[in-house]
Chain A
């Protein structure tokens, strides 16, 4: 990749914020910067105070308000021109991204993450999406959903899946964690994910419902729920209601990324029967730490959960969920090579190749600049 490629990145979540989209963006721009590209990042969220960004990357202060962000994107794009590529990190901002790309005569790269493409957007956004020179999506399911309503040449929509960071590797279980949360000596089911009212599709309640029968077969079995969100109180109440034992489900709150590998290594099975995961990076992280996985049919998790990693079940089929858990609980650790394609080095190679491919695309006619 040539060293002088310059991107303008319109991101919802930049450096200095957390969550799946933020991490994807950070991994992507880290990889592109490692390959010699430079980028000016304009985030809606993200505070880089105290952070050191990879060389070549520059992030402006975040602006959340839509109108102010819109004006700033136009102004910053114009002021800091030229750019070779305008990257837009979310379908919701596609119209803005398209306008800025046209204004600058730059190629237009759009990113889709999952649920946002399940329904066709308004006419203007759809037109902006269809004007993209390259659309990257995290899974084949997202690609399929996008192509259902977008009149895009299929070859312009490429899959660039989430990546697993290199800290997620197999290791010994953490006795410290077991004792910290008084998990006992029984088997541990683990779920990691946001506890948001808008994300009830993740399937926590389905696991709670399956637990009583499972605990009869596996006394001492504990379900550890990692994550935070506005739905936590309700879920805690539902857990008690469905399982009837306060010790059976442990809500451990938000777990920082640095502490996650130990948590995965300590568990016996990762379970999240989600019906609508865009990709499901947590499945891969669990697998990278050697953990087998039970996921849900629906969304893009089929890409992450291959046969070597685990299995997917109908989220509302309690019996199937219980059977899957029973079947995989004591099957032993998986070979982490199964997730090798998702390691950062491969992600970085693919990301740079896609940028090179985009650069081979004819530059847009300049409307200005």
Chain B
């Protein structure tokens, strides 16, 4: 297992076995805070009663340490890992609520003979576990659990169906029945009776609901609040004993990060931009605009240009590095590769901004769909009937996207509309992609619409902006973007930090309806001082910014001028067949 995760931690490796031989941790270290050997893991408390293995960073560890020292705790290292140990002693499992950062850790308490597994609020760091009824195994990668040889590879229909519906596997499922993801924002305790059910300590919808109850503010105050929140989050995300770089696209979000870093006084910033040979000289080429932004804030700018040959060369390694099947992550693979070649270890990313600032088309599409199609939601069977008719029309060459057939069946409620918006394939298409029994069993266990709807439960109904924000944050961002950032970054030993993905940051923003009213996405350009250049502000969103779909289609001898959605479907089929051939039955 340890060897399988070597790329995640090339700076060190350690093992620990409890005195009775019943608990063992292994760890790979990517040294970022306290680079000395004292920071090695697994780490034990001074009395050897508590052991921890920890993946991630705690950005507020210095504040927590100061609080603990005031209470009399004595520290032996400068690490955030030791802060976790002492914080556990002080607060027990409730400690997780105080943590600002990205983390997945396991903590063995010999006094209570219990193991605590914990994962950060929004799911930045992964944590998988396999419980066979006798032994619980856990790791940062599902494939590392398989590498040990003791975990069954039996396929999980729910995870397989989930991948084909969403383009990524929705937690807690994986594509293996024996392996589950610990859901984001939960802890799990294992005692003498085995693992207990994961206990949530953070829920996106509830957090947005709390934020929505804050007093209203005027647009100027809202923009000031937004600016302050970004500044604070970036400041926290710069905590490191190694230089922190930034992944820079031609968008507002990463530009604002770079500008804020410069404003906060960070010197010698390196910005890394990904470009594609096929896009050179077209509006999709991000390099020239990114160069403007880098120049404005005095950053060293590295542009890595990928061509079809490099893509094809790396393709097997990309699929191999994917921990679970996914239709994304290719951009991150190449930008992380470029960062590694430039000697970078840590980089900020603008991931998550679209979810909190309303940057996706779904923020407009979903409320509109629900408003106009609501009546069909209350007419049982009508939507399905219309879908059948529309599917026939599409098959006969109506020229619509296959998903359009489900408009009346799914578009009338939030969960259904979201499925329709984000789905790669729709439920009725699964029978032609997968073995029918497997598809039916997977649908039964996954219950996609119910699972989506569960992310909206917040005690009281959310506003439209917050509903979409909750869905995009708790589903697409968590299961797709963050997981992809993790495997693609760690494959090159790059720690990707995401200042827009932070529960404290989300809580510090104005309520969703106000963010919507002040056009938060546009306001991001004014966060740094000086603000982002005009050329960036007025650039149209280009959507799927890799020519991967086209490359794959070309490789298959098909025409290259395909739509984004068609490319995603082709890529999903390729990933599935190339990476999980033993499960790809059709």
Contact = CB atoms under 8 A, between A and B. Distances in A.
A139 B193 CA distance: 14
Interface size class of A (residues with CB under 8 A): 20 to 34
B194 A151 contact: no
Interface string A299-312: 00001000000000
B194 A144 contact: no
B177 A148 contact: yes
A256 interface: no
Given A140-B133, A157-B133, A159-B133, A353 B177 contact: no
Interface in A143-176: 143-144, 147-148, 151, 153-159
Interface string B158-200: 0000000000000000000110100000000000111111000
Interface residues of B, number: 17
B445 A154 contact: no
A212 B163 CA distance: 56
A118 interface: no
Contact of B194 (A139, A148, A158): A158
Contacts of A353: 192-193
A354 interface: yes
A350 interface: yes
Contact of A155 (B152, B195, B445): B195
A350 B154 CA distance: 29
Contacts of B178: 144
A226 interface: no
A37 interface: no
B194 A155 contact: yes
A353 B134 CA distance: 15
Nearest to B180: A154
A243 to B, nearest CB: 39
B444 interface: yes
Nearest to A153: B197
A357 interface: yes
B277 interface: no
B134 A159 contact: yes
A131 B141 CA distance: 31
Contacts of A137: 133
Given A137-B133, A155-B131, A158-B133, A144 B152 contact: yes
Interface in B353-376: none
B196 A155 contact: yes
A147 B177 contact: yes
A173 B134 CA distance: 34
B444 A155 contact: no
Contacts of B3: none
Contacts of B133: 137, 139-140, 143, 157-159
A158 B180 CA distance: 16
Given A159-B133, A159-B134, A354 B193 contact: yes
A182 B84 CA distance: 70
B132 interface: yes
Contacts of A303: 134
B445 A140 contact: no
Contacts of A143: 132-133
Tell me the interface secondary structure of chain A in the complex.
Answer: helix
B345 to A, nearest CB: 37
Interface string B115-139: 0000000000000000111100000
B134 A158 contact: no
Contacts of B131: 154-155
Contact of B445 (A151, A156, A357): A151
Contacts of B196: 155, 357
B193 A151 contact: no
Interface in A344-361: 350, 353-354, 357
Interface in B212-246: none
A350 B193 contact: yes
Nearest to A137: B133
Contacts of A153: 197
Contacts of A157: 133
Contacts of B132: 140, 143-144
Contacts of B134: 140, 159, 303
Nearest to A143: B133
Contacts of B180: 154
Interface in A81-108: none
A359 B381 CA distance: 43
Nearest to A139: B133
Nearest to B190: A155
A155 B115 CA distance: 14
A143 B178 CA distance: 11
A354 B195 CA distance: 12
Interface string B429-465: 0000000000000001100000000000000000000
Interface in A325-365: 350, 353-354, 357
A151 B193 CA distance: 21
Contacts of B194: 155, 158-159
Interface string A130-143: 00000001011001
A216 B488 CA distance: 63
Nearest to B133: A159
Nearest to A126: B444
B170 to A, nearest CB: 15
A116 B131 CA distance: 22
A158 B190 CA distance: 12
Contacts of B195: 154-155
A142 to B, nearest CB: 9
Nearest to A361: B197
Contacts of B193: 158, 350, 353-354, 357
Nearest to A360: B196
Nearest to B131: A154
A147 to B, nearest CB: 7
Contacts of B444: 151
A175 to B, nearest CB: 40
Nearest to B152: A144
A338 to B, nearest CB: 15
A147 B193 CA distance: 18
20 contacts: A137-B133, A139-B133, A140-B132, A140-B134, A143-B133, A144-B132, A144-B152, A148-B154, A148-B177, A153-B197, A154-B131, A154-B195, A155-B194, A155-B195, A156-B197, A158-B193, A350-B192, A350-B193, A353-B193, A357-B193
8 closest Cβ pairs, A-B complex:
A159-B133, A140-B133, A143-B133, A155-B195, A151-B445, A357-B193, A353-B193, A140-B132
Given A154-B180, A350-B192, 7 more contacts: A144-B132, A144-B154, A144-B178, A156-B197, A159-B134, A353-B192, A354-B193
